[in-house]
Amino acid sequence: MIGSAIFVGMFVGALVLSPVSDIYGRRPVHIIGVVVSLIGSIWIYFFPNWTSVLTSLFFKGVGMYTRLSISYLYTLEMFDEERCKPVATIIMSINNSLSSLMALYFIFGGRDATFFLLSSIFILGYSLIFIPLLPESPKFLFSLKKYNATRSTLIRIAEINGVKYEKLPFQEELELHGLAGFKAEEHLQVIEEKDGESKSFLELFTNFKLFTNMC
């Protein structure tokens, strides 16, 4: 029954958090997963009774699903296609190695889980410090055609990494506004003012700023 509590938590996490992440973004769901896991670890450490163990393991299950699914996807979406595979390999290798070490500890006579609980509390608590620095997934924003938000996120990521990001419209954005074939640099301001609204080419062409830029 104790082991089942984790799987119930993972099931609930998959049922609820997956659609939430597709609507509201990867970042908030990742934060929820970290907080829920932290609550589960603290709860089981300070209240080691039967009911508390079941409840905390349920929370840990929700957090585990978030880590293995949403947070994993969130991390990969921060990288380009070329780097996704090696990053995925590194993440899964670390995760499987840690799980194997824990399993070996308990197989060969370990009974005290205090060290793992305290380590979990420390790591999760420490990670909360960096929550304000986490941007939303630019690929998620791009998939929703929130191009201005995507640009802002990429600029923020570039600043954190100490590199320069050239602020230009996306090809899909130009096509959305009927501007394919024109110089991207000249129309960024107009596109940002439209904020991703779908306009016909005629509507855009009659815009005075756009008209003067084209001329």
Model confidence pLDDT, tens digit, residues 74-123 = 988 888 778 888 888 888 888 888 888 888 887 887 777 788 888 889 98
In this structure, what CATH number is given to the domain that contains residue 104? 1.20.1250.20
- Cα separation of 18 and 155, whole Å? 27
**Residue 97: domain span:** 2-134
129 and 37 both lie in a single domain:
yes
125 and 172 both lie in a single domain:
no
109 and 151 both lie in a single domain:
no
Boundary residue ending a domain (99, 134, 169) = 134
At residue 164, the pLDDT reads 78
At residue 201, the pLDDT reads 33
**Amino acid, single-letter form, for residue 68:** L
40 and 108 both lie in a single domain:
yes
Q: Both tokens of residue 7?
A: 């799987």
At residue 183, the pLDDT reads 56
Is the confidence at residue 16, as pLDDT, over 70? yes
Q: pLDDT tens across 17-29, in order?
A: 999 999 999 999 9
Number of domains present in the structure of the chain: 2
38 and 91 both lie in a single domain:
yes
169 and 119 both lie in a single domain:
no
84 and 184 both lie in a single domain:
no
By three-state DSSP, how is residue 175 classified?
helix
pTM for the predicted model, two decimal places = 0.75
Sign of the C-alpha dihedral computed for residues 205, 210, 214 and 215 taken in this order: positive
85 and 101 both lie in a single domain:
yes
Of residues 48 and 153, more confidence is placed in 153
63 and 119 both lie in a single domain:
yes
* pLDDT band (50, 70, 90) for residue 136: very high
Q: Residue 173: name the closest of 153, 152, 154, 192 by CA.
A: 192
Query: CB–CB of 91/43 below 8 Å?
Result: no
Query: CB–CB of 60/9 below 8 Å?
Result: yes
Q: pLDDT tens across 31-50, in order?
A: 999 999 999 889 888 887 88
At residue 29, the pLDDT reads 94
Boundary residue ending a domain (70, 103, 134) = 134
Is the confidence at residue 214, as pLDDT, over 50? no
54 and 95 both lie in a single domain:
yes
CB-based burial label for 215 (10 Å; 0-12, 13-18, 19+): exposed
63 and 165 both lie in a single domain:
no
Boundary residue ending a domain (111, 134, 157) = 134
At residue 49, the pLDDT reads 83
144 and 91 both lie in a single domain:
no
Q: pLDDT tens across 157-206, in order?
A: 888 878 777 777 777 766 666 655 555 555 555 555 555 443 333 333 33
